[in-house]
């Protein structure tokens, strides 16, 4: 049983790979149905946007992404996160091959998102059993008749539902949002449920955070567990714009390179959940040699931040710093007005979607 990104829930014969059934779990516009003889979709007219823009549902982020699904033999139901989204596709008339590592899809895309739910799906009848709003990441079903799921963007919550009705029966706050699926195991007759917390890259998942950088951690639960979590982190360092000046063209160039090369990890419009650092607050913004040691020469490679010298020019590195510095200025103004710097979760344009 598999719910890929394309919006259909497939039941496939494990012996010969034959598609037994496939039905939509969300609004699907790109295909009318799956042909059970061939296993292929019956595509909608203009789904390949050859005759103008096409509104594709689900959008490119998918109705269901990588987050683990769960099956309970007790209820016969499959549990999974389902997300409403749409992407407007059109051909890019200015398309030219771009460097390796950048989206080369030859189209323009504009994506918007709707509700995210935890869906309980009856795979035999291919229909919804129940649905709980505010769905999160991966799902675990246990023999105790429960379904566990983590959620949240900056801070999070680990939640238990009744597997048969979807009624929420328990929740526990976690210091980070949760995307991963949980696991369960027992030691000397005591059952544990463990989950990795941390919503990762700011690009698709993070809200903004005004906390100090807060890496995720594995949290394990048991009945009557009495461990406590470390104290909440302090406030994030303030925005750190540079006093240097950049031209409007340089800042625009920096914005483009940022969207193509940095946004997926450091967050859209340079606003990050600060698990991967929020660059508007980086000490390196005011020190070009320090900046280039990180961004070009890979000083932090062992920590997951490679150098980009093969991919971007010195001028682009300078333009990037100018763009992020201008974003830091904006954040500074927002904070002075009493805000915390809202994340500009505009639809993903040049950045693309996973
Ligand atoms: C694949 C994910 C990824 C991409 C893409 C990426 N970074 Fe990073 N970056 C990281 C991680 C992870 C760190 C934190 C490293 C550490 O813990 O020291 C980091 C740290 C940094 C820092 C240091 C911040 C600080 O003050 O602590 C700078 C500056 C930076 N990145 C700039 C960039 C720029 C500019 C780009 C685009 C050209 C970029 N990064 C692309 C993952 C990424």
Q: What is the DSSP string of 111-126?
A: EEEEEEEEEEEETTTT
Q: Is the CB of 279 under 6 A from ligand 1?
A: yes
- Do residues 199 and 153 lie in contact, with contact meaning Cβ atoms separated by under 8 Å? yes
* CA–CA dist 268, 214 (Å, integer): 19
CA–centroid distance, residue 26 to ligand 1 (Å): 36
β-bridge partners, 156: 152, 174
Q: Which atom of ligand 1 is nearest to the CA of 324?
A: 35
Domain parsing of the chain, residue ranges: 55-199, 248-336
* CA–CA dist 218, 285 (Å, integer): 32
Q: What class, spelled out in words, does domain 55-199 have in CATH? A: mainly beta
- Do residues 21 and 1 lie in contact, with contact meaning Cβ atoms separated by under 8 Å? no
The pLDDT of residue 185 is: 97
Q: Is the CB of 200 under 6 A from ligand 1?
A: no
Q: Is the CB of 323 under 6 A from ligand 1?
A: no
The pLDDT of residue 275 is: 79
Q: Is the CB of 270 under 6 A from ligand 1?
A: no
The residue behind tokens 């129940």 is 130
The pLDDT of residue 256 is: 94
Q: Which atom of ligand 1 is nearest to the CA of 317?
A: 35
Output the residue whose Cα is nearest ligand 1's atom 26: 282
- Do residues 33 and 18 lie in contact, with contact meaning Cβ atoms separated by under 8 Å? no
CA–centroid distance, residue 151 to ligand 1 (Å): 25
Output the residue whose Cα is nearest ligand 1's atom 3: 265
The pLDDT of residue 206 is: 54
β-bridge partners, 121: 78, 128
Mean pLDDT by 10 residues, the chain (354 residues): 97 97 98 97 97 96 94 98 96 88 86 93 98 92 97 88 97 90 97 89 58 86 92 88 98 95 89 86 97 98 95 96 97 85 35 33
DSSP for 146-199, please give it.
EEEEEEESSSEEEEEEETTT--EEEEEEESS---SPPEEEEETTEEEEEEE---
Please state which of the four CATH numbers 1.10.290.10, 3.90.950.10, 1.10.10.10, 1.10.760.10 is assigned to the domain occupying 248-336: 1.10.760.10
Output the residue whose Cα is nearest ligand 1's atom 12: 304
248-336 matches 55-199 in CATH topology: no
pTM (2 d.p.): 0.85
């Amino acid at each position: 049983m598999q719910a890929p990104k394309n919006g259909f829930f497939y039941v496939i014969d494990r012996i010969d790979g034959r598609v037994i059934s496939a039905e939509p779990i969300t609004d699907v516009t790109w295909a009318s149905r799956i042909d059970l003889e061939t296993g292929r979709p019956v595509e909608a007219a203009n789904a390949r946007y050859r005759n103008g823009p096409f509104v594709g549902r689900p959008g490119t982020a998918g109705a269901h992404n990588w987050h683990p699904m769960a099956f309970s033999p007790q209820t016969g139901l499959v549990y999974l996160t389902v997300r409403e989204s749409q992407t407007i596709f059109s051909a890019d008339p200015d398309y030219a091959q771009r460097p390796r590592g950048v989206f080369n899809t030859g189209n323009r895309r504009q994506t918007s998102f709707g509700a995210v739910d935890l869906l309980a799906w009856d795979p035999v009848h291919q229909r919804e059993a129940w649905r709980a709003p505010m769905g999160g990441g991966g799902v675990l079903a246990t023999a105790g008749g429960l379904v566990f799921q983590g959620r949240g963007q900056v801070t999070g919550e680990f939640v238990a539902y009744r597997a048969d009705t979807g009624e929420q029966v328990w929740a526990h706050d976690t210091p980070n949002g949760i995307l991963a699926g949980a696991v369960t195991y027992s030691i000397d007759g005591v059952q544990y449920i463990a989950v990795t917390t941390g919503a990762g890259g700011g690009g698709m998942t993070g809200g903004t955070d005004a906390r100090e950088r807060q890496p995720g951690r594995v949290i394990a639960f048991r009945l009557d567990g009495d461990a406590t979590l470390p104290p909440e982190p302090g406030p994030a360092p303030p925005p750190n714009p540079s006093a240097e000046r950049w031209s409007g063209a340089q800042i625009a160039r920096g914005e483009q390179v940022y969207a193509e090369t940095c946004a997926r990890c450091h967050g859209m419009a340079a606003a990050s959940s600060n698990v991967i650092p929020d660059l508007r607050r980086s000490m390196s913004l005011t020190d070009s040699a320090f900046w280039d040691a990180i961004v070009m020469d890979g000083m932090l490679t062992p920590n997951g931040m490679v150098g980009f010298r093969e991919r971007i020019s010195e001028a682009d590195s300078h333009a990037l710093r100018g763009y992020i510095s201008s974003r830091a200025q904006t954040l500074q103004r927002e904070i002075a007005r009493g805000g915390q710097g809202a994340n500009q979760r505009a639809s993903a344009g040049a950045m693309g979607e996973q």
